[in-house]
Structure 1
Amino acid sequence: MVESEESTSVLARILDAAAEEFGRVGFSGAKVDAIARRAGVNKAALYYHVGNKEKLYETVLLQLFAQVAGTLEQAAKAGPDPVAALSALASAMAGLFSRLPVLPRIMTMEMASGARTMPLAALAEFRRIFGATRDILRQGQETGVMRPANPAFVHMALVGTLVVYSLSEPLRRRFADAVQEMDVRLDAPLAEAAAFLGDLIGRGLRPDAAVGETPVNTAGTEGHGDA
């Protein structure tokens, strides 16, 4: 029992260290030696508990994405109101980024590299992640409070903005004072940004907020009827 608990603790340290290293320099830049040192184990122990660098990266990503999927699925079931569920989804994502700062960094590196090192096993978690947004939109459309929309657009609008806002914190802190007099709050917390996004996108999905329609211009039509 003690040996099993110790093995679990070592594995957790290895995965935490690997996540930090992958989040710092990406898959290509990460070194197994550095991960082992950060975890406080030797390379032999690392290979024994996980495997090579590819297997280590796959394990870290699957663990992170499983947390994202589970959290978003729970948020999507926040209540009978789809608009409130969308706000809960945004808040849940912000909470994940705050608790797991390596997550937005790894996501950004994967996108920048064309997802060349993304394991195929992650596809199942991606289905769950996008499925949470799709379920909210489907419920909103069925109840008549949301117009049809591509779940990918809604998900990317929420998550993409939160990723950028999260990663830009050092820059925003540095220049916050420079724009304060312009009523631009660069130092607003991530949770506040998530609440704003949830409300903004929720309003944009209302049936009366449909986009892409050409408005009818009635200006100058008075007095120009048939003679």
Structure 2
Amino acid sequence: MPPDATATKARILDAALREFANYGLAGARMDRIAQLSSANKRSIYVHFGNKEEIFDLVVAKALADMASAVPFTATDLPGYGVRLFDYLRAQPQVLRLTTWAQLERPTPTPAEIEAYRPKVTAIADAQKKGDIAAPSDPADLLALTISTATAWASASPALRTLAPEPPDSQERLVRHRAAMERALCAFTSCC
């Protein structure tokens, strides 16, 4: 019976996430993924395919993990935005990875599309029931919610230094979360 490769696969995926988040698809090196995961390059190719295939898999897994960790309720888009903000503060490599994916792989994979489809459908259903009064397209509402949740992380460091508190201080993060929630309440009409 062949040895169980589960632990090796998990190490490879974890190392690939770190490598792709730090360097993107073009800058990532399979040698570094092999070294970080204590695996040989051949086993990476056997288990996951080429660099583009493992990148797509890592992005899809990161989105699936985030969807599992961040509960989504269409009628509480402000709450979802705050939970997403908190998750991405704790897991900044996910935001870096998805930013690289947008830059280097602008055509989405089916897995990426399917990560968003249930949320867009749920928003549309909530609008039909009258639970969300905002007349905007459901995909626009989700995009605005996500971009609001990621705004502080993607804001210019120069802009963040103009905040009254240090940019990453607990006081600043609390004030930013509250401002973000107010903004999401205003444009989603969920509050």
TM-score of the alignment, normalized to the shorter chain, above 0.5: yes
Aligned to 1:76: 73
How many percent identity over aligned positions? 22
Distance (Å, rounded) in 1 between the aligned partners of 2:43 and 2:153: 34
1:8-23 correspondence to structure 2 within 5 Å = 8-23=6-21
1:160-212 per-residue CA deviation (whole Å, 9 max, x = no partner) reads 2333422459x36x963xx46xx4663322x65344323322123439xxxxx
Which blocks of at least 5 consecutive residues in structure 1 are unaligned?
Answer: 208-227
Q: Secondary structure at the match of 1:75?
A: coil
Which of 170, 176, 182 is residue 193 of structure 1 equivalent to? 176
Distance (Å, rounded) in 2 between the aligned partners of 1:58 and 1:114: 9
Contact between 1:162 and 1:193, CA under 8 Å: does it hold in 2? no
Larger Rg: 1
Compared with structure 1, are the counterparts of its residues 164 and 112 closer, same or farther at alpha carbon in structure 2 (3 Å cutoff)? farther
1:20-35 correspondence to structure 2 within 5 Å = 20-35=18-33
Distance (Å, rounded) in 1 between the aligned partners of 2:72 and 2:46: 37
CA RMSD, 1 decimal: 3.2
Which of 28, 36, 39 is residue 37 of structure 2 equivalent to? 39
Which blocks of at least 5 consecutive residues in structure 2 are unaligned?
Answer: none
Aligned to 1:158: 145
Distance (Å, rounded) in 1 between the aligned partners of 2:121 and 2:166: 33
Structure 1 runs (4+) deviating above 4 angstroms are none
Aligned to 2:189: 206
Instruction: For residue 90 of structure 1, report the CA deviation from its aligned partner.
Output: 0.8
> How many corresponding residue pairs?
187
Question: TM-score when scaled to structure 1?
Answer: 0.67
Name the aligned partner's letter for residue 24 of structure 2: G
Question: TM-score when scaled to structure 2?
Answer: 0.78
Name the aligned partner's letter for residue 119 of structure 1: T
Compared with structure 1, are the counterparts of its residues 61 and 175 closer, same or farther at alpha carbon in structure 2 (3 Å cutoff)? closer
Aligned to 1:50: 48
- Comparing both chains, which one has the higher relative contact order based on Cα–Cα distances under 8 Å and sequence gaps of 6 or more? 2
1:120-152 per-residue CA deviation (whole Å, 9 max, x = no partner) reads 3432223134345x25xx426634662322222
Contact between 1:90 and 1:198, CA under 8 Å: does it hold in 2? yes
